[in-house]
Structure 1
Amino acid sequence: MMFKIFLFLVLAPTLIHSLDTVFNDDVLGLIVFKAGLEDPEDKLISWNEDDENACKWVGVKCDSESNRVSELVLDGFSLSGHIDKGLLRLQFLQKLSLSRNNFSGTINPDLPHLGSLQVIDLSENSLSGKIPDEFFQQCGSLREVSFSGNNLSGSIPESLSFCVSLTKVNFSSNKLSGKLPSGFWNLRGLELLDLSDNFLEGEVPEGIQSLYTLRTIRLRRNWFSGNIPGDIGGCLALELVDFGENFFSGRLPESMQRLSSCSSLSLGGNSFIDEVPEWIGELRNLRFLDLSANNFSGWVPVSLGNLQLLEKLNLSMNEFTGSLPESMSYCTNLLALDVSYNLFRGSLPSWIFKRGVRSVSLSDSHPRGIPSIRAASGGLQVLNLSSNSFSGKLPSDIGALSSLQFLNMSKNDLFGSIPKSIGELKTAYIVDLSDNRLNGIIPSEIGGANSLRDLRLQKNLLTGKIPPQIEKCTELTSLILLNNNLSGPIPAAIANLTNLQNVDFSFNQLSGSLPKELTNLSRLLSFNVSHNHIAGELPVGGFFNTISPSSVSGNPSLCGSIVNRSCPNVHPKPIVLNPNSSNSGGGSSSPNYGHKKIILSISALIAIGAAAFIVIGVIAITVLNIHARSSMARAAAPLTFSGGEDPSGSPTTDPNYGKLVMFSGDADFVAGTQALLNKDCELGRGGFGVVYRTVLRDGRSVAIKKLTVSSLIKSQEEFEREVKKLGKIRHHNLVTLEGYYWTPSLQLLIYEYVPSGSLYRHLHDGPDRVSLTWRQRFGIILGMAKGLAHLHQTNIIHYNLKSTNVLINGSCEPKLGDFGLARLLPMLDRCILSSKIQSALGYMAPEFACQTVKITEKCDVYGFGVLLLEVVTGKRPVEYMEDDVVVLCDMVRGALEEGRVEECVDERLQGIFPSEEAIPVIKLGLICASQVPSNRPDMTEVVNILELIQCPSEGQEELLE
């Protein structure tokens, strides 16, 4: 016994030291860190506290000599929780990367105190609060730090200026505010600085030339003002400069011509003035140049021809005059050119079609003359010549553009016929020739353009019939032919275009009856045949059961319940048949009293045939219904819950099983999974899919959106990550995403159910159309603004603002729905977004037509402006009158200019509204719907303005309720 005690006393210090080394440093620190996390995908299952060291754990890298943890990289592991102090035990850690997770809470100010930490990457999480000033007070050997893509607020700490060892700083996509720290340019070793997408303000101070190692600087989308620092040319290593979408003004500093290494220069969306200096041609390494949305004037510099490496050039939304210089023919690498919205007067240069340019946008730039495209490069994919003064005929060789995907020549003065070669545009998915003077027929060869998704030929002088060959364009979603002189019947072949969503044949000379087969178009959102000569009975079923009366008005011979005109019944004269008569000549013979006379009319025969047909149909439908339900049961049976088990509690091993996840509450449905997609509970259809209502086990109703874009959905991992981010968004004026269901072929989103219908129905449609008071309307506008501002603060662009996507709850408060769904569809480019997502005419911002202009929150601001005017006026964004089409923004703007803006307020308010509120609100709507994105305010500013406007006069408030 004495020997054992002696042995313990001798060895105890060694044992205790060994245990302390193993359990109180790397292993213990990581186990403590793991204990505070949620790991839904068991990514950290290899982290075992019984291991001698952590070197074989996933995400962990050790120094080969000391076996101490040197790197911890857990990017994209779907982890959540707080960043625990256990990490402070990793005293030899050099790199900490936890990006693309769901970590929350604040930043631990002690992290840089780790002895050898060089890299910290906490980007794309849900961290909030301020960046602690202590974080940079003892930053030691820290070289790289990234907090981008979080919800951090407050100012950039002054202590950052003392971390002279820093080479990369990325605080982008947060809510940081205030001015740059005064000593910011002391970071002499800085190579990358990214502060974009914040609320930083004030002037950028001089002294930036001290950053002689700086290669990348991004200050995009802040509130910086004043001039660009005059000494920026001293940063000779600069390769990328992005100051876009701020409030910079004045002239470009002369020193910028010294940035000979610069390959990307983005200054768009500011207020720079005067001519673009000729020295711009000295930046011979430029590959990307964006000067759009400024106040530049004068001629485009001839020196641009020196930029032989230039690939993308954006000069749109300025006041350039003259013509594009011929010297630019030397820009042999040019791929994308956007000079839309300028004041050019010269001819369109021929070099545009002779080089390898893939995207050309000259919308509303006013050049003259279209050169021949016979020698055009086969690589041209986007050609936008809309809203100009081009006259003459469409080039007969337009089919030579064999790679063209987007063609827009609308709003010009083109005449003549549509060339037959248009059918050779095999890859084109958008063709817009509207608002011209084109005549003749729509060529049957149009069927050759079988990739078309959007065909717009409205407001021309086209005659003849709609060619049935259009059915070969099986991808069509929009077919707009209004305001022409088309005649003849609507071809039944159109019913074969099963992807159709928007059809407008109004204001033509079409005749005949509507094909009954049109009811098979299950994705229809709008179908307008008003002001034609359509006769007969409206189709019954599908979309046509709820079609708006205005969509079929102006057809006097059309009948049906929608137009409140009964269809005449034809009763032919009965025919008496005598089965015993052998007189073929029609003479009578003696009656045979041994047999009864058989008397059958034509109508009776028809009735018998119809009854037989109905019986057969019922049997067929019953069989199909049984098959469909069994298919649905098979599709619904694999549902699993977030715990990874099926409803019976047994684990799921079948890889074809789906996954049902509810973010909170019950994850079971009253009628089982087969009730998820009950057609009897269909609520509506939109650009992303069909919405159904169902009931949870706890009695709560939810809305189920079945996505109809499965082929474009991301992988399951990325889909779930994006959906979970959307599920975290909570705001009083946003529809809550409560869960989702995933299989490779079926994706469902589960939303809260908002019972009172959409804003569209309250304003325009059916029995739900009510006379909202002014106070209710103002509340709806303010609520929409707050919801949208919250989305933008979380870096979500809605993309799909329209009155059908604004739901009204029982307290007449708005909730924005369908937000952020574009994040699930990476394969959607702008042209598809403009037709698929922004399907409602009138809400789409004009920059959707400019391929090289980045889509930003300002597109949502435009849509909000249109929505605001819709609420105030009670009118749709586009109204079809008897002989005209009225665009709401244009109408209100004209009324404002003529001093009669109060006449625009909805007549149902009967003059009971405060003009001191109504007129400023209308003006705000017009500002939001400005054609130039930089002129539109941010939604946070919109909310502030609305709250300032909201000041009803004493005694008026009761009157307005």
Structure 2
Amino acid sequence: MLTLVMNLIVALLFLFPLLFVQSLESAFNDDVLGLIVFKAGLTDPQSRLTSWSEEDDTPCNWVGVRCDHNSNRVSELILDGFSLSGHLGRSLIRLQGLTVLQLSRNNFSGTINPILTQIPSLKVIDLSENSLSGFIPEELFQQCESLKAISLANNNLTGSIPQSLSSCSNLEKLNFSSNRLSGQLLSGLWSLSSLRSLDLSDNLLEGEIPRGIESLYDLRAINLSRNTFVGWLPENIGNCLLLKSVDFSRNYLNGGLPLSMRKLGLCRYLVMSGNLLTGEFPDWIGEMRSLELLDLSGNNFSGRVPSTIGQLQSLKEVNLSNNQFVGSLPESFGDCVNLKVIDVGQNSFSGNLPSWIFKLALESVSLSANRYSGSISLTNPFLQSYQSLRILDLSSNALSSGIPSSIGNFSRLQALNISRNSLVGLIPASVGRLNTTSVVDLSHNQLSGIIPHEIGGAVSLQELRLEKNFITGAIPIDIGNCSSLTSLVLSQNNLTGPVPVAIASLSNLEVVDLSFNNLSGNLPKELTNLSHLVTFNASFNHLEGELPVGGFFNTIPTSSVIGNPSLCGSIVKHSCPAVHPKPLVLNPNSSASNHGPLSPNLRHKRIILSISSIIAIGAAVFIAIGVVTVSILNMHVRTSVARSAAAFTFSGNDDFSPSHDTEANYGKLVMFSGDPDFVTGAQALLNKDCEIGRGGFGAVYKTELRDGRSIAIKKLNTTSLVKCQEDFEREVKKLGKIRHDNLVALEGYYWTPSLQLLINEYIPEGSLHKHLHDRESGSCLTWQQRFKIILGTAKGLAYLHQLNFIHYNMKSTNVLIDVSGDPKVGDFGLARLLPALDRYILSSKIQSALGYMAPEFACQTVKITEKCDVYGFGVLTLEIITGKRPVEYMEDDVVVLCDMVRGALDEGRIEECIDETLKGNYPMEEAIPVVKLGLICASQVPSNRPDMEEVIRILELIQCPTESQEELE
């Protein structure tokens, strides 16, 4: 027996090495086989995986493969940036020793394979920057005890965050940013006590941020920016004492900064921009001693900036722009010796420019759109900013005096903007020393004298704006040395002489505006060589001779050369004679002919038709074309819309039930708050008695919920132009999140392929148009009510522009009045639902009320921006003050409101334009500035119009009798 046992032991000792080798070979074969099969399913355009050969016994020497030295199994697969494409197949499951899987910056597509969870040793998964789509599978995190880091950032993933993620107790880094994830934030995330970094930014997450964040004791960085979170910031976030980076920007969060934040002494980056935060700047900010970046921009903070900010010695960048701060910036800012960037634009800071601005080694300074006054003082020849400053923006303030000649000492300056101030004197010759500067904007001041010929030394200049000053003399030929110039705007000055041929050598020019000057002579034929030209405006000068032929000038709009009666060519429909006779004098009695600058009044008198009249006539043509186009489109859908609308009834759920005699075409009803519980049912939408309005996009009906609350339902009649359901719902949900006291709230929507409804709050007092023009209603708005409507409308528009929405449709029928007399702007954002509409159909459909349409709608080469809303607001302002429609048709004349008011203002009889129903009960010191503001907003040139934030500040100035109103003169 003993002999038998000994024999067995000897046999086992002999066989053990063989068994070990076979096991090892099997492991090698699994790794090789798994990777070869994985490679077979990929496209490798750069041949990065050529070293992967099925003939090899081990993959440990392959590119992107690392092995564990003890087990010789594949432990890491790192293929970042290999440009691979394909799907994540099942073959990776053979790599049972894999701990790190990094496939970022490739083109992998398809869904995430949950088979990855069957690799028990996985600690790191990085699939970021690919084209993966679909949901994140719940199974992926059902066995994740070993997982420490996962990144699925920059893909196309949808759906909600899996609940199973909260079981990954050892997870340290989580990054799902830049996807399309939706739903509410998973409260179970706060149970991941090992979490150090959390990034869910740039998704569609919504709702409130759940409580419990203070349990993440090891959290170093959190980024929830660019979602749609609402509610307050986490109250106890300050208990996460190790936090170094906090970013909650671009959400809809309100309230103030939580007091617990003062404990974040290690925090370096605090970004709260683009929310609805309120309150004053906290004094305790000085306790966050490690702060390097502080961004509170785009909120509603108010009050003064505390002097404790000077305690932030590490501060490098601060952005407080677009808030409601007042007073002056504290001198303690000068103690922030590491400060490089400061932006406090669009607030109400006042007083002289802070003395420390040019003493620190700042790189970027923006104090724009405040109330700073006094002069620009650069008297110290050893200012540190001379060698460091790259961006200087002091625009839209009340700065006076001249531009100091030492401005040329900024040897590294890239952008200089001191436009929209009250600067006087000459343009210093030292601007020619700004040889690294790409933008110089001195527009909208009171500068005089000539453009110095030294300007040619600014060889890096790309944009030069000098419009709306009192500059005289000729355009210097040295401008031809600025070879990088793309934009040259010199309009509304008193420039004389010819257009220099040197301009034609600036081959990069895209925009040239020389309008409203006293230039003479021929336009150089060489201008046709400007191949990148997008806009050229030489209107209202004394130019003569033949227009250049070729290139851009073959299709130049007539409006770009109007006001030059001696120009000839096919564009102006005036043939050029073979032998030029003496110049034709249109007004021989004028004393201003060519002997000096024309006064503004004489300039207007020499124009046979005003610009506004020409735009009105042109717009009428576009509207006629648009009406025909839209009529054809409506005919295509009218039958299906009526049939679909008549067929459905409410089912009591989130869906409508379809008619049995139609195809199965279920509708989707969504209310953003509350249940869709209607009293009258769908039949009310088709009841003519319930119709309360009709516009370019469809009819509006009133109905009631069972709780007695009324709502307004807009039935869109542009079905064939509406986006697909997914895009439509995404845009509507964005509109549904917009909440402002001066905007009509969107409360829900209904969708079928043949019918779309928008459900809005009901505003009982009707439209502003009714109050102004329906005398039978008995409504007679007082001056105080009118001013309140103008200011409230401006605030509503400004908020839309802050969210990057263009209204497109500003008119009195789209401004509703609530029971308190406050205005509410409605019908915004509809153009975003209808991408098939081009600007011509928009100009007829959206701008259906002639007179509100901005001139740029009639010009294909001019970009439509928020300034088209500003134009409509300007016309609306004049309509409110005068009680007259934007365009009125008399028996033998057409009266354009803007022209009538402008003429009356020029002739000193503005009282004749004020609505007679006011019977003199209005303050003239307010009425005249508001009229001027309306005319400025309705300027023909978009760049001359202020933005809506400026409009609000000006209106608030007008209300305050102690403030100066010179900026409207």
TM value normalised by structure 1? 0.63
Q: Does the CA contact (< 8 Å) of 1:792 and 1:857 recur in 2?
A: no
User: 2:204 matched to which residue of 1?
Assistant: 199
Between the aligned partners of 1:485 and 1:339, the Cα distance in structure 2 is 34
* Residue 249 of structure 2 corresponds to residue 270 of structure 1: no
Between the aligned partners of 1:362 and 1:372, the Cα distance in structure 2 is 15
* Residue 566 of structure 2 corresponds to residue 557 of structure 1: yes
- What pairs with 1:309-328 in structure 2 (closer than 5 Å)? 309-328=314-333
**TM-superposed deviation, 1:387:** 1.3
Q: Secondary structure at the match of 1:127?
A: strand
AA matched with 1:413: S
Q: Does the CA contact (< 8 Å) of 1:529 and 1:552 recur in 2?
A: yes
Q: Does the CA contact (< 8 Å) of 2:302 and 2:323 recur in 1?
A: yes
Task: Give CA-to-partner distance per residue, 1:909-936, whole Å, 9 cap, x none.
Answer: xxxxxxxxxxxxxxxxx9xx98679x9x
Q: Does the CA contact (< 8 Å) of 1:275 and 1:298 recur in 2?
A: yes
* Residue 332 of structure 2 corresponds to residue 355 of structure 1: no
Change (3 A) 1:145 1:930: farther
* Residue 88 of structure 2 corresponds to residue 83 of structure 1: yes
**TM-superposed deviation, 1:83:** 0.2
* Residue 873 of structure 2 corresponds to residue 893 of structure 1: yes
User: 2:388 matched to which residue of 1?
Assistant: 379
User: 1:333 matched to which residue of 2?
Assistant: 338
Between the aligned partners of 1:195 and 1:485, the Cα distance in structure 2 is 56
Between the aligned partners of 2:625 and 2:25, the Cα distance in structure 1 is 73
- What pairs with 1:488-637 in structure 2 (closer than 5 Å)? 488-570=497-579
Q: Does the CA contact (< 8 Å) of 1:55 and 1:62 recur in 2?
A: yes
AA matched with 1:66: S
Partner of residue 233 from structure 2, selected from 211, 228, 235: 228
**TM-superposed deviation, 1:112:** 2.9
User: 2:933 matched to which residue of 1?
Assistant: none
Q: Secondary structure at the match of 2:350?
A: coil
Q: Does the CA contact (< 8 Å) of 2:149 and 2:174 recur in 1?
A: yes
Between the aligned partners of 2:843 and 2:379, the Cα distance in structure 1 is 46
AA matched with 1:367: Y
Between the aligned partners of 1:788 and 1:274, the Cα distance in structure 2 is 36
**TM-superposed deviation, 1:20:** 7.3
Q: Secondary structure at the match of 1:249?
A: strand
* Residue 272 of structure 2 corresponds to residue 300 of structure 1: no
User: 1:410 matched to which residue of 2?
Assistant: 419
Task: Give CA-to-partner distance per residue, 1:449-481, whole Å, 9 cap, x none.
Answer: 111000011111111110111011111011011
Change (3 A) 1:425 1:278: same
Q: Does the CA contact (< 8 Å) of 2:187 and 2:211 recur in 1?
A: no
Residue range with higher mean Cα deviation, 861-870 or 138-147 = 861-870
Task: Give CA-to-partner distance per residue, 1:574-615, whole Å, 9 cap, x none.
Answer: xxxxxxxxxxxxxxxxxxxxxxxxxxxxxxxxxxxxxxxxxx
**TM-superposed deviation, 1:894:** 2.9
Between the aligned partners of 2:305 and 2:149, the Cα distance in structure 1 is 40
- What pairs with 1:664-675 in structure 2 (closer than 5 Å)? none
User: 1:92 matched to which residue of 2?
Assistant: 97
User: 1:250 matched to which residue of 2?
Assistant: 255
AA matched with 1:296: F
AA matched with 1:558: L
**TM-superposed deviation, 1:108:** 1.5
* Residue 219 of structure 2 corresponds to residue 210 of structure 1: no
Partner of residue 176 from structure 1, selected from 150, 158, 181: 181
Between the aligned partners of 2:121 and 2:887, the Cα distance in structure 1 is 66
Q: Does the CA contact (< 8 Å) of 2:414 and 2:438 recur in 1?
A: yes
Change (3 A) 1:858 1:789: farther
Change (3 A) 1:119 1:902: farther
Q: Secondary structure at the match of 1:561?
A: coil
Partner of residue 60 from structure 1, selected from 61, 65, 72: 65
**TM-superposed deviation, 1:324:** 0.4
- Percent identity, aligned pairs only? 54
Partner of residue 439 from structure 2, selected from 418, 430, 435: 430
Between the aligned partners of 2:721 and 2:308, the Cα distance in structure 1 is 49
Q: Secondary structure at the match of 2:139?
A: helix
Change (3 A) 1:385 1:878: farther
Q: Does the CA contact (< 8 Å) of 1:113 and 1:139 recur in 2?
A: no
Change (3 A) 1:74 1:860: farther
Q: Secondary structure at the match of 2:874?
A: helix
Partner of residue 476 from structure 1, selected from 485, 505, 512: 485
Change (3 A) 1:898 1:137: farther
Between the aligned partners of 2:28 and 2:732, the Cα distance in structure 1 is 45
Change (3 A) 1:251 1:895: same
**Aligned residue pairs: how many?**
650
Between the aligned partners of 2:392 and 2:371, the Cα distance in structure 1 is 15
**TM-superposed deviation, 1:184:** 1.5
Change (3 A) 1:32 1:477: same
Q: Does the CA contact (< 8 Å) of 1:291 and 1:315 recur in 2?
A: yes
Task: Give CA-to-partner distance per residue, 1:365-424, whole Å, 9 cap, x none.
Answer: 222223412434121110111111112212222112221110111111112111111111
Task: Give CA-to-partner distance per residue, 1:542-599, whole Å, 9 cap, x none.
Answer: 2211211111111100001111101111299xxxxxxxxxxxxxxxxxxxxxxxxxxx
- What pairs with 1:802-951 in structure 2 (closer than 5 Å)? 872-873=846-847, 875-877=854-856, 888-897=868-877
**TM-superposed deviation, 1:769:** 11
Change (3 A) 1:385 1:781: farther
Change (3 A) 1:31 1:428: same
AA matched with 1:334: L
**TM-superposed deviation, 1:110:** 2.6
Between the aligned partners of 1:124 and 1:417, the Cα distance in structure 2 is 53
Change (3 A) 1:879 1:417: farther
Q: Does the CA contact (< 8 Å) of 1:404 and 1:425 recur in 2?
A: yes
Q: Secondary structure at the match of 1:327?
A: helix
Between the aligned partners of 2:102 and 2:89, the Cα distance in structure 1 is 14
Q: Secondary structure at the match of 2:527?
A: helix
Q: Does the CA contact (< 8 Å) of 2:29 and 2:57 recur in 1?
A: no
Between the aligned partners of 2:271 and 2:333, the Cα distance in structure 1 is 19
TM value normalised by structure 2? 0.63
Between the aligned partners of 2:401 and 2:803, the Cα distance in structure 1 is 36
**TM-superposed deviation, 1:906:** 14
Q: Does the CA contact (< 8 Å) of 2:322 and 2:347 recur in 1?
A: yes
AA matched with 1:417: L
Between the aligned partners of 2:521 and 2:452, the Cα distance in structure 1 is 21
Partner of residue 281 from structure 1, selected from 255, 275, 286: 286
**TM-superposed deviation, 1:303:** 0.6
User: 1:106 matched to which residue of 2?
Assistant: 111
**TM-superposed deviation, 1:82:** 0.9
- What pairs with 1:140-159 in structure 2 (closer than 5 Å)? 140-159=145-164
Between the aligned partners of 2:491 and 2:506, the Cα distance in structure 1 is 18
Partner of residue 460 from structure 2, selected from 433, 448, 451: 451
Between the aligned partners of 1:157 and 1:17, the Cα distance in structure 2 is 41
Between the aligned partners of 1:55 and 1:857, the Cα distance in structure 2 is 55
Task: Give CA-to-partner distance per residue, 1:117-147, whole Å, 9 cap, x none.
Answer: 1000000111111111121111120000000
**TM-superposed deviation, 1:86:** 0.4
Change (3 A) 1:144 1:930: farther
**TM-superposed deviation, 1:788:** 11
* Residue 51 of structure 2 corresponds to residue 46 of structure 1: yes
Change (3 A) 1:207 1:887: closer
Between the aligned partners of 1:764 and 1:85, the Cα distance in structure 2 is 62
**TM-superposed deviation, 1:50:** 1.3
Q: Does the CA contact (< 8 Å) of 1:879 and 1:888 recur in 2?
A: no
AA matched with 2:170: S
**Aligned-residue RMSD, C-alpha:** 3.7
Between the aligned partners of 1:878 and 1:363, the Cα distance in structure 2 is 29
User: 2:778 matched to which residue of 1?
Assistant: none
Runs of 5+ consecutive residues of structure 1 not aligned to the other structure: 1-9, 573-759, 794-855, 908-925, 936-961
